[in-house]
A and B are shown apart, each in its own frame.
Chain A
Amino acid sequence: MVSPKILRRRIRSVQSTAKITRAMEMIATAKMKKAQDMAIAGRPYSDKIMQIIADLSAQAAAGGAVHPLLVARPVNKIGIVHITSDRGLCGGLNTNLNRLVGNFILDQKVPVTVISVGSKGRDFMRRSMREIRAEFTKLGDRPKMADTMAISQIVIDDYTSGLYDRVYIAYSRFVNLMSQKPVLELLLPVEPAQLPKTVSPEYIFEPNAVHVLGELLPRFVEMQVYHSILESIASEQSARMMAMRNATDNAYDVIAELTLTLNKARQEMITKELLDIVAGVEGLK
């Protein structure tokens, strides 16, 4: 039998834990909404840029000129942009992504180098002794395009200089509030989507198609990196929201259980005291 005093203390402590997790859940909800809005706001831009690239690359290829970011080379080395969160307490989000990327790396026959965004992924890669080309942390909850430029710049430069021949980007895709999916996508070389040829009219290009394509492709890569980071943030916040909601619910369950035990203990004590009194009175007779 645990004494009621200790039980009361434990209830209080679980209550304050529940308060904290509830507050964290609410913060995560607000941040998740913002991150989601940001991800959606960028969608028209990325749709459009993808479409122009599809139009252009067909036209530029017809002219015989091919941009380096479009050429698939024999693969001697692979680069991975690994996007995780900086903070924990978000369920299995980072673990799932780390497992996916870890397995992918083990399956490769060629060396792999990692560009890690977010400290959780960086620590994982360090622990498993992977080669880290660059690391970025503390991007915050609402990064601007300019904040992520450095990441895409490194990727584009390294790819052009031949440091790696294929680049993947790994991040947690925001499916909905309940589920986030770890994904690994090809970033470079850029594979233009196959669009039905009939829809695009004959464009005039200024200065010319090759030039425009050369300017568009890096922007497309930048855009993809930026967008993946936004998705990651939305995923992180929604995963944290769910994790904290579960934690709060569990805390309430624990409180209910403890309260029941407390009441039982109290009742038992009263019964015992009553018995004592009755016994005492009987003895006096």
Chain B
Amino acid sequence: MPTMKLEIVTAERQVFSGDVTTIIAEGTEGQMTVLPKHAPLITMLAPGELVIRKDGDEQYMVISGGFMEVMPEKVILLADACERSDEIDLERATAAKQRAEDRLKSITPDIDQSRAEAALRRSIARLHVAEKRRRGPGYRPSV
């Protein structure tokens, strides 16, 4: 199977570097799958899940927005923040989701609604990815 080089970097560290066969990311315009020899593309990423595949081996990550630069042989992903599924603290993620939901319910003028919604989206994505790790690969939660 043809592969491409993938680098995931944040301002704080390099999260991933290696050869992959498939990348599935959450673009702002919808989900997209990137395969090797893709046309040059720069896209914004929405908070959500990132799946990378290498010879049937899947890895899940969660991203809280960023950019992806796609070139035929190489993909560079600039993430605002990125966690691998094994780094996610389930308890903290659940608490964060609860907090975001509470905030959205009790909306007041001094709460920024779009920020609260973004926080909720991030926490849901994080839980989603953590859940997958628990149930093993191939599992799709019914959300």
Given A44-B7, A44-B14, A52-B67: A215 in contact with B44 (beta carbons within 8 A): yes
Closest beta carbon of chain A to B70's beta carbon, Å: 9
> Is A144's CB under 8 angstroms from B28's CB?
no
> Is B12's CB under 8 angstroms from A206's CB?
no
Q: Does A212 contact B (CB under 8 A)?
A: yes
User: Which B2-52 residues have a C-beta within 8 angstroms of A?
Assistant: 7, 9-14, 27-29, 39-44
Contact of B40 (CB < 8 Å), options: A45, A202, A216, A227: A202
Contact of A48 (CB < 8 Å), options: B9, B29, B39: B9
Q: Does B71 contact A (CB under 8 A)?
A: yes
User: Which A180-231 residues have a C-beta within 8 angstroms of B?
Assistant: 201-207, 211-212, 215-216, 219, 222-223, 226-227
Q: How far is the CA of A9 from the CA of B23 in the complex (A)?
A: 70
> Is B78's CB under 8 angstroms from A204's CB?
no
**Which size class do A's interface residues fall under?**
20 to 34
Q: Does A41 contact B (CB under 8 A)?
A: yes
Contact of B12 (CB < 8 Å), options: A38, A52, A201, A219: A38
- A42 cross-chain contacts in B, Cβ below 8 A: 11-13
> Is B42's CB under 8 angstroms from A212's CB?
yes
Q: Does A26 contact B (CB under 8 A)?
A: no
Contact of A207 (CB < 8 Å), options: B11, B28, B67, B76: B28
Q: How far is the CA of A211 from the CA of B9 in the complex (A)?
A: 21
Q: Does A65 contact B (CB under 8 A)?
A: no
Closest beta carbon of chain A to B36's beta carbon, Å: 16
Closest beta carbon of chain A to B5's beta carbon, Å: 13
A to B CB contacts below 8 Å, 17 in the list: A38-B12, A41-B14, A45-B10, A45-B11, A48-B9, A48-B78, A49-B67, A145-B11, A204-B40, A205-B41, A206-B28, A207-B44, A212-B42, A212-B67, A215-B67, A219-B78, A226-B11
Q: A202-B40, A219-B78 are in contact. List 9 more A-B contacts (CB 8 A).
A: A41-B12, A41-B13, A44-B14, A45-B11, A203-B42, A212-B43, A219-B80, A222-B11, A226-B11
Q: Write the residues of chain B forming the contact surface with A, with a CB cutoff of 8 angstroms.
A: 7, 9-14, 27-29, 39-44, 67, 69, 71, 76, 78, 80-81
What 4 A-B pairs come out closest when comparing CB atoms? A206-B43, A201-B40, A204-B41, A45-B9
